């Protein structure tokens, strides 16, 4: 019996998927529940497991982008199971498959990800696909040895499209301020051991910023709103997106109901999302519904930037590197750990006065963080 390996639907707006990695080679024996292939879309990654014991036949190689519903492989459940899972251990006379011997394909790099990919026409989930038809076209030689050409990943294309759309559809303006991080640094050092013991995660800076942003949004509700046609939709909840950088690109999972959460719960949620992002297990639901975004370029050493809105949101806060700088305090020059803040906002909805007010509320909360420690 042959069981098709089909690219599943991942959401109404997702029409194609990229075959990121086959975890088994063509001709390998697999057990039911073993990981077969990782698929990437413009939003999430999806891992497909073997539906039954059998021998795998790969029809479409890594690096190809195919429509949802495409048959990308088959499992021959009538083939004898080999614990080694390699075609090199099988005699040419063995009855391994009704379709005959299959050349093994390395699970690591059967197709170079930088090779040009020939287009694939949409295929019905029930239509057979010939491995020959699915194979990529001839590899074009680079113009010179100093450059290569590769396809953009679905996620990178989605990011590019969204950033361009944000620039074209919103009147983006950025306002700056700075915050003295000395009080937060001292507080973290003071309670870090007990906090970690209680919550199982370390207390970072992001939880303070999430709580401070919630308080500032309550004071300046225009930044917790969005434009929908000729209407303004004001949100009365506080689901905050936190940008996380991965090898595949930037993802922005959403922390739900942050006004109800302690610093400990926020740090646990961030750690959970970071682990899911690292393992490419972020789901579509994780990324939807945020009202405001935090982006911390400071972890990479960025001193100042102008972040781009995450539509349809009307505000995004850029955090930056903490740097020891001379500042004036009570008529004296002192050295303090300072961070620049950058608030980008949709000027169609948010005025400069409201942006400055938001940043001032944020600055006050962060420089007197004891108020953010309630239920920490």
Q: Is 301 left (phi over 0), alpha (psi -120 to 50) or beta?
A: left
CA angle 181, 340, 297 (to 5 degrees): 100
Query: Active site residue: 257, 279, 351, 375, which one?
Result: 351
279 part of the active site: no
The sign of the torsion formed by the CA atoms of 126, 63, 33, 269 equals negative
Query: Active site residue: 257, 347, 361, 375, which one?
Result: 347
Helix (H, G, I), strand (E, B) or coil at 296: strand
Q: Is 11 left (phi over 0), alpha (psi -120 to 50) or beta?
A: left
180 part of the active site: no
Torsion of CA 21, 54, 106, 98, to 10 degrees: -120
Helices and strands (H, E) in the chain, number of each type? 6, 19
In the DSSP assignment, the letter for residue 93 is T
Task: Provide the strand spans (E) within 68-149.
Answer: 71-76
Strand partners, 76: 2, 55
Which residues are known to be catalytic? 347, 351
């Amino acid at each position: 019996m042959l069981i098709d390996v089909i690219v599943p639907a991942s959401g109404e707006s997702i029409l194609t998927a990229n075959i990121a990695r086959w975890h088994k080679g063509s001709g390998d024996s697999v057990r039911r529940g073993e990981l077969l292939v990782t698929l990437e879309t413009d939003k999430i990654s999806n891992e497909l497991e073997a539906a039954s014991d059998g021998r795998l036949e790969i029809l479409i190689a890594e690096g190809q982008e195919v429509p949802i519903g495409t048959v990308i492989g088959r499992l021959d459940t009538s083939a004898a199971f080999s614990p080694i899972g390699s075609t090199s251990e099988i005699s040419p006379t063995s009855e391994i498959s009704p379709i005959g011997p299959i050349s093994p394909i390395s699970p690591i790099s059967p197709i170079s990800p930088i090779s040009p990919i020939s287009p694939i026409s949409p295929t019905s989930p029930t239509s057979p696909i010939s491995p020959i038809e699915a194979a990529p076209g001839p590899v074009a030689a680079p113009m010179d040895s100093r450059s290569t050409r590769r396809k953009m990943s679905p996620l990178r294309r989605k990011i590019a499209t969204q950033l361009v759309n944000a620039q074209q559809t919103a009147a983006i303006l950025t306002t700056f301020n700075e915050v003295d991080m000395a009080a937060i640094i001292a507080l973290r050092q003071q309670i870090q051991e007990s906090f970690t013991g209680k919550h199982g995660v370390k207390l970072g800076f992001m939880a303070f910023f999430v709580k401070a942003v919630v308080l500032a949004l309550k004071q300046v509700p225009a930044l917790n709103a969005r434009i929908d046609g000729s209407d303004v939709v004001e949100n009365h909840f506080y689901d905050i997106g936190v940008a996380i950088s991965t090898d595949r690109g930037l993802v922005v999972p959403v922390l739900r109901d942050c006004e109800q959460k302690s610093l400990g719960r926020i740090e646990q949620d961030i750690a959970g999302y970071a682990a899911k992002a690292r393992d490419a297990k972020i789901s579509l639901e994780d990324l939807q519904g945020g009202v405001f975004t935090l982006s911390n370029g400071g972890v990479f050493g960025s001193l100042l930037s102008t972040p781009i809105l995450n539509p349809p949101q009307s505000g995004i806060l850029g955090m930056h590197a903490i740097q020891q700088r001379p500042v004036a305090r009570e008529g004296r020059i002192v050295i303090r750990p300072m961070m620049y803040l950058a608030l980008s906002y949709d000027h169609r909805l948010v005025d400069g006065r409201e942006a400055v007010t938001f940043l001032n509320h944020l600055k006050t909360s962060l420089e007197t963080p004891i108020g953010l420690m309630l239920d920490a």
